[in-house]
Amino acid sequence: MKVTITILGSGTSQGVPVIACGCEVCKSANPKDKRLRTSVLIEFDGKVVVVDSGPDFRYQMLRENVTRLDAILFTHEHQDHVAGLDDVRAFNYVMNKKIPLYSTTNVQNHLKQEFAYVFSGFNYPGIPEVTLHTISNNVPFEIEGLQIIPIEVMHYKLPVLGFRIGDFTYITDANFIAKEQMDKIFGSKTIVINALRREKHISHFTMDEALHLINDLKPEKAYLTHISHQLGLHDEINKELPESVFCAYDGLKIDIEI
């Protein structure tokens, strides 16, 4: 089965350009230096799954001309990954169905607080209609026949889920991966992983840390995502990277076979 992964957003929580910033990255005219909040689109067998619905979710759906949504899969509960959930209303209307949400119980608890009107039981016309599906860090699951292996990584002290689909692994918002979780990644041909900046950060891999991890995992190709303006210009970063490692960018498509 052919699966197409589209990078909907490759930026950090503030996006790039950052509001009121005058640095060369934020002022760059290169479209690859324009980074929306981190998210990916997964297309297979006519089905569409989105990983995370951040603040840019509406625009990302419009930009990629997404006309159906079969599920949203959440990595964790931070606002740059969940804040756009309200916009699933459009898919409720077009598809005349509730949208399944796949997440841990921690994420579900956050969604119930942040979007209380969705889960209050008062079905006001026009509110998002969703169904909750619980996943854990150790149990593989499937969405519309697509097999997914969850990988628990640590975002400082917060557990975050990465996901492996066939030989493709996607990890965002991490600065530590335990050995038993690393074992789930080994053998991946393509890896997308966060690399926030050059300087040490409390909850994200730096570029050097991400490159060391990629060197250990030895995929055929790797892409850096969740990139801040502090890392530098897209084209300049790419010149520094090993031959098989690239900066991800918004709109990048990765085709895999499973």
pLDDT digits (tens, 9 = 90+) for 49-85: 999 999 999 999 999 999 999 999 999 999 999 999 9
Interval 145-198: pLDDT, tens: 999 999 999 999 999 999 999 999 999 999 999 999 999 999 999 999 999 999
Write the pLDDT tens digit of every residue in 6-45. 999 999 999 999 999 999 999 999 999 999 999 999 999 9
What is the pLDDT, as a whole number, of residue 29?
Answer: 98
Looking up tokens 């697509």 gives 146
Sequence-distant (≥ 6) Cβ neighbours of residue 58 within 8 angstroms: 84, 87
pLDDT over threshold 90, residue 122: no
Q: What are phi and psi of 220, to 5 degrees?
A: -70, -35
For residues 192-213, average pLDDT: 98
At residue 41, the pLDDT reads 98
Q: Within its chain, how far is the Cα of 35 from the centroid?
A: 13
pLDDT band of residue 133 (cuts 50, 70, 90) is very high
Task: Please state the pTM of the whole predicted model.
Answer: 0.97
Question: 168: which 2 tokens?
Answer: 């493709």
Alpha carbon of 122 to those of 94, 126, 197, 223: distances in Å? Answer: 22, 11, 44, 43
SS3 call for 89: helix
Q: Distances from the Cα of 9 to the Cαs of 16, 25, 96, 212, in angstroms? A: 10, 16, 27, 23
Write out the two tokens for 116.
């209380």
| Strand intervals (E) in the chain | 2-9, 39-44, 47-51, 71-73, 99-103, 130-134, 141-143, 146-155, 158-165, 168-171, 190-194, 221-225, 245-247, 253-257
> How is the chain split into domains, by residue range?
2-257
At residue 124, the pLDDT reads: 82
Q: How far apart are CA 178 and CA 32, in angstroms?
A: 32
> Exposed (0-12), middle (13-18) or buried (19+): which is 95, by Cβ within 10 Å?
middle
Superfamily of 2-257 according to CATH? Ribonuclease Z/Hydroxyacylglutathione hydrolase-like (3.60.15.10)
The set of residues, in sequence order, having a beta carbon less than 8 Å from that of 35 and lying 6+ positions away, is 9, 10, 11, 12, 15, 16, 227, 249, 250
pLDDT at 233: 98
Rounded distance between C-alpha atoms, residue 255 and residue 113, angstroms: 37
Task: Look at residue 123 in the predicted model and tell me its pLDDT.
Answer: 82
| CA–CA gap between residue 71 and residue 58 (Å, rounded) | 15
